[in-house]
Amino acid sequence: MTVNRRFTLAARPQGLPKDSDFLLTQDIVPPLQEGEFLIRNHYASIDPAIRGWLEPGGNYMPPVPIGDAVRASTIGVVELSRHPDFTAGQWVMGLNKVEDYSIGRGDGFTQPIDVDAVPSPTAYLSVAGAVGLTAWFGVEDVMQPAAGQTVLVSGAAGAVGSLVGQLAKRRGARVVGIAGGAEKCARLIDRYGFDQAIDYRGKDVEALSADIAAACPDGVHFVYENVGGACLDAALLNLAQGALVVICGLISEYNSAPQGARNIWQLLVKTATMRGYLISQYLDRFPEGVTAMAKLAGEGAIVYDEHVEDGIDNALPAMLRLFDGSNQGKMILKLI
């Protein structure tokens, strides 16, 4: 009998998630059916997107049902298999749940991973995982910035933002990052190689816009938006002609009613484009992105940071760190 601890949704959060919205439940893993395999999850990826999956309407994925474990990408090891393509002992990654054990069915969501190709298996949740691929395709396919152009990244010291900045720099662009606090701003320059950093804390749209104008005197050719709210409104006031605004995330609105971008008239003035971008659009090109990002990280051509919290009991505190900015890199929960 194998016991499965699960971080279970008890109630839909109103605003910031709190203790009473979740329960740590225990189930018994059911016997495997033909075509199934049992994954012992080692690490779960704690992503801002999870907050949207807890809403009654979900976001780009259906809502997590109340009483079910919270959905998350995980990496783990196959313990038992009744599937022809998966064998015991094999490392896999997939869209599973925050739980000790998940059952895989080989339906495309779970893929084998080569843990020898990366410094640590957790790289498949960070630099060579969804956040790394979000940065890779966002820069190399969606934006394709070049020398002489300026990229403005919000949430710049985070998992996606720090990689976006480095990849854009590699293409020769000038890169300006927006982050919370002096320490993160220093890290943008010293560790991630951004050209300039702007601290958004305590600033309204006018003050932020003035900072962006000073850092980007020729205007911003690409906005890589992870935050929304005042950051987005200030960025819109500083567009170069024909700019592209890529909406990757709007984390400032995930726990509250949407603020809305108030300066979209600037799209007209600057004949600019604003578009949404989801990494799931690139599912069929994931292997290409994994190879590219693992190679760059392996060569030390890009750096990445992981913030690992220990134990399923810490699932909620780990999630909350994404919203108070106390995560120092890709937020990962260690399950074993």
Ligand X SMILES: NC(=O)c1ccc[n+]([C@@H]2O[C@H](COP(=O)([O-])OP(=O)(O)OC[C@H]3O[C@@H](n4cnc5c(N)ncnc54)[C@H](OP(=O)(O)O)[C@@H]3O)[C@@H](O)[C@H]2O)c1
**For ligand X, which is the closer residue by CB, 82 or 285?**
285
Cβ of residue 154: shortest distance to ligand X, in angstroms? Answer: 7
Cβ of residue 99: shortest distance to ligand X, in angstroms? Answer: 21
Size of the site for ligand X (CB under 6 A): 28
**For ligand X, which is the closer residue by CB, 39 or 130?**
130
- Kind and range of the H or E run holding 316: helix 315-324
How far is Cα 104 from Cα 102, in angstroms, rounded to an integer?
6
User: With DSSP H G I counted as helix, E B as strand and the rest as coil, what are the percentages for the chain, rounded to 5?
Assistant: 35, 30, 40
The window from 3-11, 98-106, 151-159, 312-320 that contacts ligand X (CB under 6 A) reads: 151-159
122 to 141: interface string for ligand X, x by CB under 6 A: --------xx--x-------
Inter-helix orientation angle 286-298/130-137, to 10°: 100
How far is Cα 146 from Cα 218, in angstroms, rounded to an integer?
15
Q: Does 48 bind ligand X (CB under 6 A)?
A: yes
Tell which one of 54, 64, 157, 188 touches ligand X (CB under 6 A): 157
Q: Does 22 bind ligand X (CB under 6 A)?
A: no
In the chain, count H helices and then E strands. 9, 15
Tell which one of 39, 98, 237, 251 touches ligand X (CB under 6 A): 251
Tell which one of 4, 8, 17, 47 touches ligand X (CB under 6 A): 47
Q: Does 142 bind ligand X (CB under 6 A)?
A: no
161 to 200: interface string for ligand X, x by CB under 6 A: x-----------------xx---x----------------
> Do residues 231 and 158 touch, judged by C-beta distance below 8 A?
no
Tell which one of 49, 237, 239, 315 touches ligand X (CB under 6 A): 49
Phi, psi values for residue 33, rounded to 5° = -90, 165
> Do residues 198 and 212 touch, judged by C-beta distance below 8 A?
yes
C-alpha closest to that of 141 among 275, 45, 330, 304: 275
Contacts of 207 (CB under 8 A, 6+ apart): none
Footprint of ligand X (CB under 6 A): 47-49, 130-131, 134, 155, 157-161, 179-180, 184, 226-227, 248-249, 251-252, 277-279, 322-323, 325, 327
